Amino acid sequence: LPFFISFALFDLYPTLFSLYISFTKWDGLYPPVFIGLANYTRILHDEVFLIAIYNTFIIGVLSIIPQLFLGLILAAILNDKLLKGKDFFRAIFFVPYIVTASFIGLLAHLLFDWQSGSINMFLVQSGFISEPINWLNDPATARLLNVVVSSWNYFGYYMIILIAGMQGINPEISEAAQVDGASKVQVFWKITLPLLRPVMLFLVVTSLIFGMQVFDIPYVLTDGVGGPEKSTLTLVMLLYRTAFKANDFGYGATIAYSLFVLIFIFSLLSLKIMNRKEA
Amino acid sequence: MRKLFVYLCLLTLSFSVLAACGSSGNQSPSTTDKTNTTVAEGGENASGTNESASTELKGEINLWSWFDTAQYTVDKFEAKYPGVKVNLTVLPSEEYKTKLLSAMSAGAGVPDVILMDANFVGSMIDHPALEDLTGQVDEVVADQYDYTIAASKDSKGQLKSLSLQATPGGFYYRRDLAKKYIGSDDPKAVSDAISTWPKLMDLGEKIDKESGGKNHALASWVDFNSVQNGSKTVPWVTDGKLTIAPELMEAYDLAKEARARKVEASLIEGPFLFGANAAVFATMQQGTVLFYPSPTWALNYFIVGNAPDTKGQWGIAHGPKSFWGGGIYAGLYSKSKNKAAALEMLKYWTGPEYLRELAKEQQDFSNSKSVMKEMAESAGGNEFIGGQNFFEFFNDSALTIKAAAATKYDQELHTMFINSVKMYVDGKASKDEAIAAFKKDVKNTFPDINVD
């Protein structure tokens, strides 16, 4: 029962309250005014919202691919029974995940700074480029930077979950295959990967949900603006800016609910796709 | 059944995004509030407070701030009014505004004295939880710099807050570079050399050429925005209609010209006014930039802090125009249970007795014409700025400033406007396109504003 009380108080109530707020016009100063579906009509015609969906997809969802890929390779390597020092490497690769995303964003901000960042200094001095690259001033490189940084932030998490998944696979199966003359690579492709599907499903679905909510890294990298030219303005950043910077809580709540609907649809879709393969 | 469970899990997970709606405000390490480090303190002992009144006044008042130096004011106030206990809560600056706004809207736990930073005072000034001070602090207002009063009023013209500081600006300069490129480090000669924007541009071009691109007149084109914004007289929004002040229209051209003629070092990339970042701070110590147009508080908070080894290397000159920037405002909670004590604290904080001590002990330029005049006459030179009289300089400056009323849209409009100028400066859009993009942004974020 205590759980339900705290759930009702801290989860259910805010959720329902923001649903109510999304039907109102509220600047945080005067009491909310009920305006029906006006906010939802507005969001359907809101170009910036569309841009934000696109950015979120690029940054949040596309970064799942390198993370999954990197996580899988590292998991396969570090799950090898004969490898020495694997615990050490597991810990090292997991460290970025423990550090908060905003700190990593800050670190990347310093590393990739246009004039004084180490990355540009290195590239210029080693002769790869003649002029320092202004990473955060071009939409393409700014998005790329966000993908790279969030991949670096989260690949350790994928790796750990995948290692756990691999250890859950009955070793007798792969041993039997090896006895039959299968190489390690073959075992990985024919046995490990198919048996890992439930774990991958879990990873993809949860990352999809969290990827759609990507906020801290682009926020820190762009000083909270989502620039250049809104190219890194994600949905949650738009929500934050609308509600807490522009003090338009009603519309902010509407963005939150629209995001909720989007996430729900995407999650259903990915579940369907994964399940169909299984069948 | 299993399927149902999966869907339920999914639903719960998705809900977390909605719950996050409330907390995302707290996680964000808002760098936008960099100017908050400003510490303005003023104080006064209202004319009516004599010794007996100060011992009779009793009660407890709650005060929130985002800067820990508020303790300095609290200690002084409590020493003078032993019957009053001030409960000071210092909150992280990035959370301060959100917490204050929620408390004010909920009408619970609101501090009795409400502090607001210049960059968000506009968004709160219309709040019904702020007491209308009209008529209650006349003697304080009479002694405040005229320009600060405009920004202390709400959209109906009611006085809802008091500006603790006056924050006039000047062009801080490195004396060594001034000698090299202007031929003199005397504040008068330097002021003459940059008395108009064209003169400043010519000087900037000369500096770039003579130093082979190593030194620059300004750190960034954002400086033009800071100066022009701090001298505009038209509010962003009047009667629901957007106006881009002529000063800001000029900022487009100035910034573009400065970039083209290499007057600025292209340093600040962020969206803030006077928003110096690490790269700019580094130049203060290195001495590669001649001018830093900044308000009063930049001396203590930006220059002394970031370039401690450059004592005596600095001077302040008047630039092409006078401007202001930043500051802290204080108001009262209209439903405060201890309004008398809170009002007394506000009066103390903005009155001559406290401000005089503050000016002497902390070299802080505050919002009292009489005390600042006194200091201008008596304080003498400040060693850090090569013996110049800090108070005299800024007192002259403050008297000539004009300001526009704050609106609740200011903070966001600023960010959008700077982005628009940036597009033009970077050559990504023509001036007309940049202006159109800005208007489109405004329309999108604030459908209520009439954008022609």
User: B162-177 pLDDT, tens per residue?
Assistant: 998 888 999 999 999 9
User: How many Cβ atoms are within 10 Å of A91's Cβ, its own excluded?
Assistant: 12
Residue numbers of chain B with a pLDDT score lower than 70: 1-55, 268-276
B305 touches chain A (CB under 8 A): no
Q: Nearest-CA residue of chain A relative to B28?
A: A216
B98 interfaces chain A, CB cutoff of 8 Å: yes
Give the A window 137-166 contacts with B, CB below 8 Å.
Answer: 137
Residues in B closer than 8 angstroms to A245, CB to CB, are: 32, 411-412, 415
Q: Which long-range contacts (CB under 8 A, 24 or more apart) does A201-205 make?
A: A201/A271, A201/A274, A202/A161, A203/A68, A203/A71, A203/A158, A203/A161, A203/A162, A204/A64, A204/A68, A204/A270, A204/A274, A205/A267, A205/A270, A205/A271, A205/A274, A205/B10
pLDDT of residue B330: 92
Global pTM value: 0.81
Minimum-distance CB partner of B270 among A30, A216, A223: A223
Phi, psi angles (nearest 5°) of residue B310:
-105, 25
- Work out the mean pLDDT of chain A and round it to a whole number: 84
Q: Nearest by CB to B412, which of A209, A223, A246?
A: A246
CB B216 within 8 A of CB B224: no
Cα B31 to chain center, whole Å? 14
pLDDT class of A175 with cuts at 50, 70, 90 = confident
Residue A241 has pLDDT above 60, yes or no: yes
Cβ separation B10–A267 shorter than 8 A? yes
**Range from A152-166, A196-210, B162-176 carrying the lowest mean pLDDT:** A196-210
Residue B20 is predicted with a pLDDT of 42
- Identify the pLDDT of residue A2: 79
Angle at CA A15, nearest 5°, toward A13 and A18? 105
Q: Assess A219–B contact: CB distance below 8 Å, yes or no.
A: yes
> What is the token pair recorded at A216?
């801290």
pLDDT in tens, B74-120: 999 999 888 889 999 999 887 898 889 888 888 888 999 999 988 88
CA distance A29 to chain B (A): 5
**Chain B neighbors of A220, CB-CB under 8 A:** 29, 31
Instruction: Decide if B126 touches A, using CB distance below 8 A.
Output: yes
This model of the complex carries an ipTM of 0.77
Residue B444 touches partner A, C-beta closer than 8 Å: yes
What is the pLDDT at residue B270? 59
- Is the separation of the CB atoms in B131 and B338 below 8 Å? no
Which of B20, B24, B408 lies at the smallest CB-CB distance from A247? Answer: B408
